Amino acid sequence: MNIVIFKEVVTVKKTICSLLTLCMVLWAGAWLVACMEIPSSPHQSGKATEIAVYVLQKNNEDSTAQKINATEKANLKAYVSPSKFENDLEFFWYIDEDLLETGKTFTIDNPLIDEIPNRVVAKDKEGNSLEKLLDFETNTPPRIGSTLYPEKGAVFILTENQTITFKWYYVDIDNDPVENILHIDEQVYNVGTLTQIVQSGFKPGEHKFFVEVVDSYGDRSVSEERTFTVQSPAEEP
């Protein structure tokens, strides 16, 4: 009789131990799942990671190149990545420690005399901040002189084998490398650093031309369009 009771006690203890082990396993599993479902701290994830600043100008509408055309009004516009956080941020534009302006866009009315920021800081309501250092270069485009040949309304009496001289002048106060581009009627001639060329093959009638000078930053100057007329020489008697 005692032996039977002992076996029952042992069986009950084993059952209790098994239940306790099962409960511990279930509790540990539930705790692990709960931990996996807890969202990350806002200071660790879900925030902007990078700032980009675009220069918006008439001839350069959307560029990350940190160059400003000195002859045109400019807007500096800040973007963050990922972009979905932009509306949660406030932007501060500085020169060193001096605050110039707040807002996503910084306006420069006259790049030659206005202050240009050298850093922008984005801040959120929780005190997180992101900074980008800026180093803009102000570039003055080349300028084509008013002296341009052929003169407006010029008349040439020549055959198609005879040539016409095209000549122009330009000034680039920054001494940047430039490329000259000559447009005659529908033809485009990239002539490099040349500012004078001769061209033949003109049929009788009215022709037009203009010149572009482009510096190494992509800023350009374009001359007025001029017209000239070609007439065939009179036949020999």
Task: Give me the pLDDT at residue 2, please.
Answer: 40
Task: Give me the pLDDT at residue 7, please.
Answer: 40
* Res. 236: pLDDT tops 50: no
Domains and CATH numbers, the chain: 50-139 (2.60.40.10), 143-231 (2.60.40.10)
Confidence of residue 84 (pLDDT cuts 50, 70, 90): confident
In angstroms and rounded to an integer, the radius of gyration of the C-alpha atoms of the chain is 37
In order of 18, 27, 41, 52, 174, the CA distances from 31 in angstroms are 20, 6, 18, 42, 68
Confidence of residue 47 (pLDDT cuts 50, 70, 90): confident
Per-residue pLDDT of 148-187, as tens digits, reads: 999 999 999 999 999 999 999 999 999 999 999 999 999 9
Q: Half-sphere exposure (CA, 13 Å, Cβ side) for 13?
A: 6
* Res. 26: pLDDT tops 80: no
* Res. 6: pLDDT tops 50: no
Confidence of residue 24 (pLDDT cuts 50, 70, 90): low
More confident of the two residues 92 and 84: 92
Contact 189, 182 (CB under 8 A): yes
Give kind and range of the element (H or E) at residue 27: helix 2-37
Full DSSP string of 134-152? ---EEEPPPEEEEEEESPT
Per-residue pLDDT, averaged over 133-161, amounts to 93
The token pair at 16 is: 């209790």
* Res. 11: pLDDT tops 90: no
Q: From its phi and psi, is residue 159 left (phi > 0), alpha (psi between -120 and 50) or beta?
A: beta
* Res. 195: pLDDT tops 70: yes
Task: Give me the pLDDT at residue 189, please.
Answer: 97
What sign for the dihedral angle of Cα 96, 101, 106, 112? negative
Report the distance separating Cα 221 and Cα 141, nearest Å.
Answer: 7
Per-residue pLDDT, averaged over 81-86, amounts to 86
Per-residue pLDDT, averaged over 197-206, amounts to 96
**Which residue is listed with tokens 């920054």?**
174
Report the distance separating Cα 222 and Cα 168, nearest Å.
Answer: 11
Average pLDDT, the chain: 82
Full DSSP string of 94-117? EETTEEEEESSEEEES-TTTS---
Task: Give me the pLDDT at residue 48, please.
Answer: 80
Task: Give me the pLDDT at residue 62, please.
Answer: 66
Task: Give me the pLDDT at residue 76, please.
Answer: 94
Task: Give me the pLDDT at residue 17, please.
Answer: 45
Backbone angles phi, psi at 134, to 5 degrees: -120, 145
* Res. 19: pLDDT tops 50: no
